[in-house]
Amino acid sequence: MRRSRFWSRGRGAPVRRSFPALVATGVALLVAAGCAAPPPADPAPPVSAPPVTAELTGTDVDAWLDGLLPSALERSGIAGATVAVVHDGELLTARGFGHAGGAPVDPDRTLFRVGSVSKVVTATAVLQQVEQGRIELDADVRQYLDFPLPLRFEPPVTMRHLLTHTAGFEEQVRGLISHGESSPDLREVLAADPPEQVFSPGTTPAYSNYGYALAGYVVERVTGTPFEEQVRHAVLEPAGMTSSTFAQPLPEGLRDRLSAGYPNTDEPAMPFETVGPAPAGSLSASATDMARFVRALLDEPGAGSLLAPETAELMRTPGLGPDTLGTIAEGPRMTLGMFDESRNGRLVLGHGGDTTLFHSHLQVYPAERTGVFVSMNSNGRGAIDTLEIRRALLDGFADRYFPAAGDPLTPAPEAAGSSDRAAAVAGRYESTRAAYSTFLSALGMLGQTEVTARPDGTLLVTSGPGSVRPAGYREIRPAVWQEIGGNRLLTTRTTGDRVTEIGFESAFTLQRTGPFRDSSTAGPVLAVSATALLVGLLAWPVGALLRRRGMPARPSPGRADRILHLLTRFAAGCALVALAGWATVLGMVSVLAEVPVPLLHALQAAQ
């Protein structure tokens, strides 16, 4: 197994939680970090409010935000947040809440690390080069590279695959986030140890930071300009984003304006975070700059023109269809840079972004000429506090100002044959955003989703996709299931008579686990095995203690038997040490902490 690719180069955040909580938090972080998914749409989140239809004005939005955010931030232990809303070509409001370190959050001056919201900017830079004929969306991407990219499948990977997260790469964590101000070389990061390609291109959405970093490097190659500089003069400056940069560390004049990042308000600020592949998530920006970017994306009058109208429309269109995605294409699909996060029957495109300390989300309503940006500078005290707040804000915004035409809580009618199809879906599944060729594949077993067929033909999904709570789904047409009382859709892909894959978000799917990956079986087997090893190891000292207290002694074994007994106990001890060590390593990696390579070698030896 190759292991070297996973380790962050800098010091990780201090671990102050119990190990089970740390792993649970880490799994949630790996799903979100540097990415990605829309906030969860749970039926009863702790910070949500009943939807109220209102007129979209700056005054109303400000009043609504004042009623939602300050109390939620205080309750969750989040130091500061910023929000900007654009509508009809105007900045409707830009707000700062809490503090950014030494000063209150200022939406004009305070910079936040926006994580994978950066990918929307990177996709824009790519599409500019498509417009100019330097990049072909459907050409083999290797023709633009100056290093070998090992691939296992045909057809070749294209820029379309990279921008839609369908290049087939496995998850890669090493170097994603480090603490310190040394900026890694983009080519070195990409060429040193590429991730395995585990899916055929175009067939299986599997979120990939590496894929977007590769897309950014292609921009660098075809323009002959370092990526950070190319994006600055081709995207940021034309959009009027003078307080934004992909550079790491930040240039003079912006560095002192960057918000500090906190685990929560009970702990001190952490060092600067360096995102290893810059195109995937290194952007620092103010809320008003992100509002300027939204106006440019919407091609509003007076906003900087970034893309020709036909290219902008291409960016808002699903990048792949059923010819490669099959029935997965019946659900939300990735555009060339954004997730389909539609709600209440309206097209909503967006992207989330998380570093280890900052948590952001951007949403655009093309038809309504509206955009929303939110970012927070702390994790909060709970594992999903920032996800809950983003969900409450973004879903609450949609329900308040752009509600559904009908009753959104009316369940869809049951499709004929749903009970049989529900039974075919039932089982355990893992996200395709995972490591497959390294020991980190064990992390996938900690976050499995269980699907249960209910007697009425509906599905109970635990934990619900993008959530930590169970959710019910009703089939609205064959292979398409809608969340009961919600907006989410599930689609299914069938091989023979067996459902093998569930589509649930634009850049993620769930794949059915095999018998040896089923955590409901593997977990107890592992526990029983570890217990047997521990009992065998403890039998020696316990037996010796009992004999000292009068228990009849056994006949003295021969020398060969004594050696075998010692070796057996030594092996059992090594196995337990290795098991505990790998569990600790998985916990460290799940929160992107640095793991010393000598520790890995020691665990290999013990194993």
Mean pLDDT calculated for residue range 159-169: 98
Neighbouring C-beta atoms of residue 37, cutoff 10 Å: 26
pLDDT of 185 higher than 80:
yes
pLDDT of 455 higher than 80:
yes
Tell me what pLDDT residue 140 has.
98
Tell me what pLDDT residue 3 has.
33
pLDDT of 572 higher than 50:
yes
- pTM for this one? 0.85
Q: Say if residues 197 and 166 touch (Cβ distance below 8 Å).
A: no
Question: Can you say whether the dihedral through the CA atoms of 588, 589, 593, 597 is positive or negative?
Answer: positive
Tell me what pLDDT residue 603 has.
77
Q: In terms of residues, how long is the chain? A: 607
Tell me what pLDDT residue 592 has.
62
Tell me what pLDDT residue 248 has.
94
Mean pLDDT of the chain: 85
Query: Which of 67-76, 140-149, 368-377, 412-421 comes out lowest in average pLDDT?
Result: 412-421
Angle in degrees, CA 194, 197, 201, rounded to 5: 125
User: Hey, which CATH number is domain 34-401, 3.40.710.10, 3.80.30.20, 3.30.390.50, 3.50.50.60?
Assistant: 3.40.710.10
Which residue in the block uniquely carries the two structure tokens 């370190």?
Answer: 101
Tell me what pLDDT residue 44 has.
38
Tell me what pLDDT residue 563 has.
82
Three-class DSSP labels, 167-184: CCECCCCCCCEEECCCCC
Q: Give the residue, 119 or 529, on which the prediction is more confident.
A: 119
pLDDT of 19 higher than 70:
no
200-253: per-residue pLDDT in tens?
Answer: 999 999 999 999 999 999 999 999 999 999 999 999 999 999 999 999 999 999
Q: Give the residue, 544 or 321, on which the prediction is more confident.
A: 321
Share of the chain above pLDDT 90, in %: 61
In the chain, where the domains are located: 34-401, 418-512, 519-606
Which residues touch 552 (CB under 8 Å, ≥6 apart)? none
Give 52's pLDDT tier (boundaries 50, 70, 90). low
Helix axes 58-76, 385-401, angle to 10 degrees: 160
pLDDT of 26 higher than 60:
no
Q: Give the residue, 477 or 134, on which the prediction is more confident.
A: 134
